[in-house]
């Protein structure tokens, strides 16, 4: 007879099943050690390149993947595209460095929901994994600024006439996203429930026709809906 926690669906509710990918053994070991110490995260495998990551993901079915972008053979971007074919599809957090703008944008287009700098504080990696599993995603504000500067060109363009208008509250929430705030932080700032913020975020993504928060932020800057002064 199966005991408590033997049901895979129940186990996923109790812990976040995480796969790690980095071509440097020291980085893999460091991330495994850091994240395995968290009671709600289980590191179920570590890969040295994108091909190994995809193979492991097909077999282990992770909830979240934390992957370096630049790796030999199949890089992180190629792996993210392949991971999106899985059912259920894992949430992917890309590990980035400032000198890889093209890789950053490629990971964004491929479907990464979070970006963490390699020199980030350890707690940011933990938070990024948890938020990705919750469907929120975490983007380091410095990464957002670099992406917007590089790809949205900061100077606003005219809002497309067919873009559904945002409500005043959605504009406020969008401003919070642009500052890299998580749903709970936006909720505290505006005195609303975190669940309400999640609904607003989902509506913003739907109106913009994008899949991730950072894509919505880039469009917000591009259309002049938020500015650096905000």
Chain segment 45-73, per-residue pLDDT in tens: 999 999 999 999 999 999 999 999 888 88
Average pLDDT over residues 157-169: 85
Residue 23's CATH number? 3.40.50.2300
**Residue 94 falls within a domain, yes or no?**
yes
Number of structural domains (the chain) is 2
Predicted confidence at residue 6, as pLDDT, reads 47
Domain assignment of residue 163, given as a range: 153-222
- Reported as a pLDDT band with limits 50, 70 and 90, residue 28 is very high
pLDDT above 80: residue 3: no
Residue 173's CATH number? 1.10.10.10
Is 13 in the same domain as 96? yes
The residue among 80, 114, 139 that closes a domain is 139
Is 83 in the same domain as 12? yes
**Residue 134 falls within a domain, yes or no?**
yes
**Residue 126 falls within a domain, yes or no?**
yes
**Residue 144 falls within a domain, yes or no?**
no
- Reported as a pLDDT band with limits 50, 70 and 90, residue 29 is very high
Mean pLDDT of the chain: 83
Q: Could you write out the DSSP letters of every residue in the chain?
A: ---TT-SHHHHHHHSEEEEEE-SSHHHHHHHHHHHHTSTTEEEEEEESSHHHHHHHHHHH--SEEEEES--SSS-HHHHHHHHTTSSSPPEEEEEE-TT-HHHHHHHHHHT--EEEETTS-HHHHHHHHHHHHTT---B-HHHHHHHIIIII-SS--PPPTTSPPPPHHHHHHHHHHHTT--HHHHHHHHT--HHHHHHHHHHHHHHHT-SSHHHHHHHHHHTTSS-TT-
Which is more confident, 5 or 158? 158
What is the reported pTM?
0.72
Is 92 in the same domain as 183? no
Is 70 in the same domain as 39? yes
Give tens-digit pLDDT for 116-148. Answer: 888 888 888 998 899 888 877 777 766 766 666
């Amino acid at each position: 007879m199966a005991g408590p926690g033997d049901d895979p669906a129940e186990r996923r509710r109790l812990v976040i099943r995480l796969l790690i990918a980095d071509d440097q053994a020291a980085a893999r070991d460091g991330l495994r050690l850091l994240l395995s110490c968290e009671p709600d995260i289980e590191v179920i495998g570590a890969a040295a390149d994108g091909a190994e990551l995809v193979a492991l993901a097909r077999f282990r079915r992770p909830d979240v993947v934390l992957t370096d972008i630049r790796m030999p053979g199949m890089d992180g971007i190629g792996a993210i595209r392949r991971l999106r074919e899985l059912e259920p599809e894992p949430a992917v957090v890309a590990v980035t460095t400032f000198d890889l703008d093209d890789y950053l944008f490629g990971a964004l287009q491929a479907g990464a929901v979070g970006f963490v700098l390699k020199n980030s504080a350890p707690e940011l990696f933990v938070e990024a994994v948890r938020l990705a599993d919750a469907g929120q995603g975490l983007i380091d504000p410095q990464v957002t600024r670099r992406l917007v500067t590089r790809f949205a060109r900061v100077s606003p363009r005219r809002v497309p006439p067919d873009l559904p208008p945002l409500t005043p509250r959605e504009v406020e929430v969008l401003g919070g996203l642009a500052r890299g705030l998580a749903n709970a932080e936006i909720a505290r700032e505006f005195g609303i429930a975190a669940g309400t913020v999640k609904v607003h975020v989902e509506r913003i993504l739907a109106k913009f026709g994008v899949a991730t928060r950072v894509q919505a932020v880039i469009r917000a800057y591009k259309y002049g809906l938020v500015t650096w002064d905000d």
